[in-house]
Every structure is written in C-alpha cells, then in structure tokens.
A and B are shown apart, each in its own frame.
Chain A
Amino acid sequence: MIGIRGIGWITKNKFGSVFKKEITEYADKADVYSLFKKQSIIPESFRHFGRFDRVSKNTCLAISSGLFDADVYCSKETKPDLGILSTNSKGCLQSNINYFKDYIDCGRRLSRGNLFIFTLPSTPIAESAIIFGCQGPIAHLTFKDDQTPSILEHGRMMISQKEAKELLIVNANEEEAICFYIKEHAHAFENEYMSLEQLQESFTDTEELSEIILRISEKGTE
C-alpha cells in the first residue's frame, strides 16, 4: 500500500505539520525562514533562501514541513532516492513577468540570469531537490483542473510502477503550498493520517488549494 508519511503546509500567516499537529502563526513572511531554522525544520546547509521567487520559497517551506512531519532528515549530503512532483494552475507566470519586466527596465540590453532561472515551472522543485539532496525523478505537471488529486494519482502510479521509491508531491503558488510525502509500505504507519487512497477519496470537485490546506490542516489538529 502507498501511505502518506508526512504533510507540510504554509499559508499567508501560518505553517504546520499535520501528523505532528503543529501549527505556527507568523506575522511577516520575512520571519518564516528564521522560524524554520529555529525549529530545525530546514537543513543548516541551506543558505540561498533570500534569492528564491515566492513559489520556490513556499515550495521549499512546505517540503521542509512535510519531511519534518515524517521525522525524515534530508540534506545535500544525504542524497536520498526521493523524487519531487509539483503542480499549480499558473506555473511561473509571475516570475516570467518579473524577469521580462526587469529586462525591459534595463533597456532591453541586459537581463538577469538569477531571475531567468525562475522562469521554468520546474525550478521551485529543482531548487528544493538541491537543498534536500533529492536524486529521484523531478517534474512539474499541469492539468486543466483538479490539480492536487490529479498529481497525487500520478505520484501513486510512479511508485506502483517502481519509477520512484518515494515522492514529495507539492501544490504551490505565490501565497501558499502543501506537500504530501508518499511512500510504499508493507503495512500502515503507526502515525499514519490516512492511506493515499483515503486521501484521494476525500477531495471534492473544484476544491481550491486554500480550501484543501484548511481542511487538511484542521483535520490534523483534531
């Protein structure tokens, strides 16, 4: 069976880990990174958070919380056989605009490579793969609708087909993100919140990311 090993999430003013039933409130997004460091949620070796675009920051923080929720420590040095799939509806639209606007502002003569790299939808998970040393498959998948249930189904398939041993599955946008850490297991985990199948059944049509995060984070505090 494939189980959910950890769930991490972040919104405009809170972040949390579902199995650990931990929720932290914050006032300013600029403080989040130091809160993660303080709570040892993010690897010590990670130093480039400041240059990330907003989707990359939320992706990285949700993954950190998801791994923390599962009591799994990953870093550039550990190089786990762990893949990452991501989804969202708008891809890297805002980063595309930011990059090209900056290029125009520079007279269409100079552009910035450090902005250009965020114009790929797969960059947030690639940056996270570097931070957490993930050597498994990496891909950003876009669907017409039902992004989260659709990507979870593809994650399930990849593990069933032995294309990945375990996966971090992320839905992240500019404001919020959720990460599911899924893995095949011979039996249910002791602290397992639900099997992947159960989670998949819980989604309703047209459920927005913010509604998914709210529902799942509340369930984790029961």
Chain B
Amino acid sequence: MLKTDPVIVDYNAMTPYGEGIDVCWRGLMNNRTSITDIERFDAGHFISNKAATIKTVTFGNEKSLVWQMLERLKKNINNEIPQDADLLLASLNGEIEFIERELLTDNDCSQESRLDLLLAKTQDLFRLKGTGMVISAACASSSIAIAKAASMITSGQSSCVLVLACDCVSEFIISGFSALMALDKHCARPFDIKRAGLNIGEAAGYLLMMSQERAEKEGRKTAGKVRGWGMSCDANHMTGPSTDGEGLFLAIKQALDRGGVPSEKIRSICAHGTGTVYNDAMEITAYKRIFSERVCPTYSIKGGIGHTMGAAGLMDILVVLETIKNAVLPPTVGVKEIAKEAVGWVKKKKVCLHNDVVLSTNSGFGGINSALIIETCT
C-alpha cells in the first residue's frame, strides 16, 4: 500500500429498506424489493405508480425530503468525521421540492433549491471546515464524486474526503421519467428478458475516504481501497446509451489501466443495471468487449432499491463493500428469466466467491459513464 492510496474508512446509508447499510444488505440478500406504490402524490396517471421510498421521512414537511434524509444520515454515522474533511456532495436535483412548492402554493422559495445553498447547509450540518463541491453528472454523479475523492487523495490535495449522495422521489422526477417512457409499470427487472424500464428510488449515503497514511495514523479500520477509476462520454444521445457500449468500454479501460489491474483480476461486477432495455444491453456489450471470452459474475441492486439517481453510484459501492466483507454477491432482485445476452453473467441467486477486486459501473443521461475498481485492503 502507498501512503497516498485512497482507502474507505467508514460508510453507511439510509435506503427504502430502512436505516443502515446492513438493513439494505439483508433486503437484497433476501431477494426482496422495497419498491411499492407511490403514496406521496397522485401517481396513478403516470406510466408507473411504483417507486422505492423511505417511509421514515415526511413529504410535505417544512424540511425537504433530501434534508430530512441528510439529517437522519448524520445520526447514522458510525465513527467521527474529521472537521477538516473536504466534502463532495452528489445529487441530481437536491431539494427539488422547493420548485414544486413555489409553483403549487405560490410560496416564493424556488431559490432554496439551489445546489450551492445545499452545499453550504450540508457543510454546516456535518460541521465541516474543508473545501466543498457539488458534483452533478446525471446518474453517474456519485461514482464520479468517488473518483474525484480518490484523485484528490492520490494527488495529495486532500487527506480526508467525505462523499455524500442523496436524491429523493418527487412528482417532479416521476413525471419527467414518465414522459420519457422510461418507467416499468411493474417492479424493475434488470437484465430480465421482459424488462421494461426502471423505477425511481431514493437514498442518502456517505463514504469517508482517507489517505492510507492518515487512516493508519488515526487507527481507522479500512473497508476497501479505490484502485482505479475512469470517466467518459458517449457523445451520442441525451437519453439513450450507445448501443455498441463504446463510452462505457472506454471508462472501464481507463479504470483498469489507472489501477494497473488486468481484467482477469476482476472477480465481480456491480452493474448500473437500470432495467431499461437499452441500458442493460449496452452494459453487457461493454463488459463482453472488456472480458472477451471470460464471463464475470454480475448483479444490479436497482430491482431492490430502485434507481436512486445521483446516489446510485455511491449505493452501488456501499453494496460492493458488503460483498467484499461477506464474500457473497446478492441476487439481482426482480430478474425471473435472464435476457439472452446476460445469460451466464447475471444470476438469480446469491453467488459465494472470494471477492477481492470488483468493478462497478454507472451510466447516465447525456451518455456520461463512470467505472470504479474497488479492492480489498491487505
């Protein structure tokens, strides 16, 4: 290990399964979905009225859903977060309810939805004195934030970075995805032959990263290390991925090259796996280009917690850390009959394996792709 290696020293989340990553992990391992009918607003006229929502936050409260999620997340922090930590906040829309509120109730509050204000408030909430930045890169926002944190630590710019991610289920979001015909009226079925779209989910999570040197000095236990990262753009279409998987292929290749990891070393893949026809097919195409003849065990968590948008990449990594710890991959919740192109790659049941080097990928609107390689700390 190098002194500047970016290691993960703490993590947790609140998801539609409940508070704590352990609750989420158990839900996924039990092959149980948290996607239910939307009760927050009338969603009956949308293509789908299904989403994965956190039941312990209150819609219509003076505080936004995202803010309530962040406040509760703070209570679920396992170990102390150093005050000098730099903050990277990943979110698609932040406190988007302030837009809804202004337009539905004539309450002049849309400015409060600004991400720079959310950043300042979050720094105060977590009592952080370091630098801060919000990263918005569609549904790859939080994986790009993790890549950025790793880069800041490796370059010596920072020795401690808190990556926070959060997004919520709102009428604003559901109406938009419905208009794009991207929702499945049933529960999402990533990599299924009959998959028909995604379901939106909400989550808030954090990942505390440090340089190996600082983690050792502070006696922190390490859960894993960010070994490689890559980012690219399809430069093809706003809402649809490149069918040849070229953009994602480039991001994965960059991540492998940066980490000096040959593809044979990758034990498993945490796919973006939204459940849309085109995304899932594109991902398998890109993986096949990288792994050639080799089949690498692959799963998606979006049939369990829905597509948590800006938080999706971070939620994937939290689950990756659990797979490393428990030496088992969760089943892909929702899949019944695996699509032809994914046969052999995606499993309906859990897979036990020595999982020491993992690839996780995300792709978002605008053709934005990211790839992260997480390795166990030896």
A171 to B104, CA, bound (A): 31
Quick one: closest B residue to A110, CB to CB?
A: B179
Q: Is A122 part of the binding interface, using a Cβ–Cβ cutoff of 8 Å?
A: yes
Encoded as 1 (CB less than 8 Å from any A CB) or 0, chain B from 223 to 238 comes to 0000001011111111
- Cβ A100 vs Cβ B151 within 8 A: no
Size class of B's contact patch?
35 or more
Distance (whole angstroms) from the CB of A110 to the closest CB of chain B: 7
Distance (whole angstroms) from the CB of B133 to the closest CB of chain A: 5
- Cβ A111 vs Cβ B175 within 8 A: yes
- Cβ B115 vs Cβ A91 within 8 A: yes
**Stretch in contact with the other chain, from A11-19, A130-138, A179-187:** A130-138
- Cβ B151 vs Cβ A163 within 8 A: yes
B115 in complex: contacting residue of A109, A130, A142, CB < 8 Å: A142
A161 to B136, CA, bound (A): 20
Q: Is B344 part of the binding interface, using a Cβ–Cβ cutoff of 8 Å?
A: no
Q: Which residues does chain B contribute within 8 Å of A137, judged by CB atoms?
A: 144, 231-233
- Cβ B247 vs Cβ A127 within 8 A: no
B233 in complex: contacting residue of A76, A101, A135, CB < 8 Å: A135
B136 in complex: contacting residue of A93, A97, A112, A139, CB < 8 Å: A139
B99 in complex: contacting residue of A89, A96, A122, A125, CB < 8 Å: A96
- Cβ A144 vs Cβ B367 within 8 A: no
A112 to B92, CA, bound (A): 18
If the complex has contacts A91-B136, A120-B365, A139-B144, are A133 and B235 also in contact, measured as CB distance less than 8 A?
Answer: yes
Quick one: closest A residue to B117, CB to CB?
A: A144
A126 in complex: contacting residue of B92, B157, B177, B238, CB < 8 Å: B238
A90 to B116, CA, bound (A): 8
- Cβ A120 vs Cβ B92 within 8 A: yes
Q: Is A203 part of the binding interface, using a Cβ–Cβ cutoff of 8 Å?
A: no
Distance (whole angstroms) from the CB of A18 to the closest CB of chain B: 26
Encoded as 1 (CB less than 8 Å from any A CB) or 0, chain B from 126 to 146 comes to 000000111111100000100
B contact set with A: CB distance below 8 Å: 42, 45, 92-93, 96, 99-100, 102-104, 110-111, 113-116, 119-120, 123, 132-138, 144, 147-148, 151-152, 154-155, 157, 171-172, 175-181, 229, 231-239, 247, 250, 258, 364-368
8 A-B pairs within 8 Å (CB atoms) are namely: A91-B114, A97-B99, A113-B176, A122-B137, A138-B233, A139-B231, A141-B134, A161-B154
